[in-house]
């Protein structure tokens, strides 16, 4: 090997060492930036998840400490419970009521608010105003509306000559009533996302359709909905996950009643853990809820993403 070749080889090695050193330095800097997030995720997400999975295999005392290992007995016990099966059924019915209802109404309002009309900004503010109302405040508002004697809804029914309805006390109406209030609470956020998606659609598509003489509903079906599909995919996924995790309005409006008709999974977990002090059973229910949300989300990504059209 000549002297020149040795120098080239030595400089290549030096360059590789410097490159590796710079890579390690960049990795260390990156980890320093990630460290606060990793710490917060570990404390408030990873550890609680691991702890919940651990407790689901144990009987616990009143302090939530594991006492006796029972394996999958907690899971078999809750699946043989009529109350849990009722809770599971009510949860899926609640999701079926609220997700399509929220998306359809929000889409309709977003299409209206996307029109170039005078004063449309006022309507956009009204449609999105539910975002600024807390679940507790909104639940109190709906408590007054659903009141059996003083509620505005029953007063309308009496004026129409129809018997009053026990919106929150009748097992046939309770879940539907809570679903209505939940749709109203979720419309603001969904409406804003939909409106943003509509405004991001290229106006040239509509202009080309107008030149070809396309009608309003043809443009809605062939341009608006396909171009809005990424937004719809996001909204459906987020709304479905939020529906499975509903708790606040159940606690404020019905507390799981009447006859466990509104005892959704999250409220069932809360009651099992903090009312009955059965942390092992509650943890098993939480694991099942996590599995359901994960499976439903994967199905949504598997089937729904095929119909998404990106610009």
pLDDT digits (tens, 9 = 90+) for 24-63: 888 888 888 889 988 998 999 899 999 999 999 999 888 8
pLDDT band at 181 (very low <50, low <70, confident <90, very high): very high
Quick check: 3 pLDDT over 60? no
Percent of the residues in the chain that have a pLDDT greater than 70, as a whole number:
94
Residue 89 CB partners (closer than 8 Å, separation 6+): none
Cα–Cα distance between 54 and 71 in angstroms, integer?
A: 10
pLDDT band at 12 (very low <50, low <70, confident <90, very high): low
Pick from 87-91, 171-175, 250-254, 304-308: least confident: 304-308
What's the burial of 59, exposed, middle or buried (CB within 10 Å: 0-12/13-18/19+)?
A: middle
Residue 106 CB partners (closer than 8 Å, separation 6+): 186, 187, 190, 191, 194, 235
42, 72, 272, 285 from 81: Cα distances, Å: 33, 15, 13, 12
pLDDT band at 76 (very low <50, low <70, confident <90, very high): very high
Cα–Cα distance between 238 and 164 in angstroms, integer?
A: 35
Calculate ∠ Cα 271-273-275, nearest 5°.
50
Nearest to 73 by CA among 284, 246, 298: 284
pTM confidence score: 0.88
Quick check: 162 pLDDT over 90? no
pLDDT score for 10: 63
pLDDT band at 311 (very low <50, low <70, confident <90, very high): low
Cα–Cα distance between 231 and 192 in angstroms, integer?
A: 11
Cα–Cα distance between 103 and 121 in angstroms, integer?
A: 21
Quick check: 298 pLDDT over 70? yes
Nearest to 292 by CA among 38, 28, 94: 94
Percent of the residues in the chain that have a pLDDT greater than 90, as a whole number:
51
Quick check: 199 pLDDT over 80? yes
pLDDT score for 124: 87
């Amino acid at each position: 090997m000549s002297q020149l070749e040795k120098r080239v080889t030595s400089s290549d090695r030096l360059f590789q060492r410097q490159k590796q050193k710079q890579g390690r330095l960049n990795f260390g800097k990156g980890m320093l930036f990630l460290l606060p997030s990793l710490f917060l995720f570990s404390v408030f997400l990873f550890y609680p998840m691991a702890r919940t999975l651990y407790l689901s295999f144990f009987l616990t005392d009143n302090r939530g400490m594991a006492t006796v290992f029972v394996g999958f007995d907690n899971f078999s016990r809750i699946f043989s419970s009529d109350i849990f099966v009722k809770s599971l059924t009510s949860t899926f019915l609640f999701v079926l009521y609220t997700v399509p209802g929220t998306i359809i109404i929000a889409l309709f309002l977003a299409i209206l608010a996307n029109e170039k009309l005078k004063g449309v900004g006022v309507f956009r503010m009204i449609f999105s105003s539910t975002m600024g109302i807390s679940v507790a405040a909104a639940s109190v508002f709906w408590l007054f509306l659903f009141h059996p004697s003083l509620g505005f809804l029953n007063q309308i029914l009496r004026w129409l000559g129809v018997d009053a309805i026990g919106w929150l006390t009748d097992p046939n109406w309770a879940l539907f009533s809570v679903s209505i209030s939940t749709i109203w609470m979720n419309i603001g956020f969904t409406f804003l996302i939909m409106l943003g998606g509509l405004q991001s659609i290229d106006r040239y598509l509509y202009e080309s359709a107008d030149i070809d003489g396309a009608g309003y509903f043809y443009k809605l079906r062939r341009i608006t909905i396909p171009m809005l599909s990424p937004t719809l995919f996001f909204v459906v996924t987020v709304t479905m996950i939020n529906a499975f995790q509903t708790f606040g309005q159940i606690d404020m409006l019905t507390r799981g009643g009447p006859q466990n008709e509104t005892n959704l999974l999250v409220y069932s977990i809360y009651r099992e853990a903090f009312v009955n002090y059965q942390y092992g059973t509650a943890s098993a229910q939480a694991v099942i809820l996590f599995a359901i949300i994960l499976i439903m989300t994967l199905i949504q990504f598997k089937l729904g993403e095929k119909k998404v059209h990106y610009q």
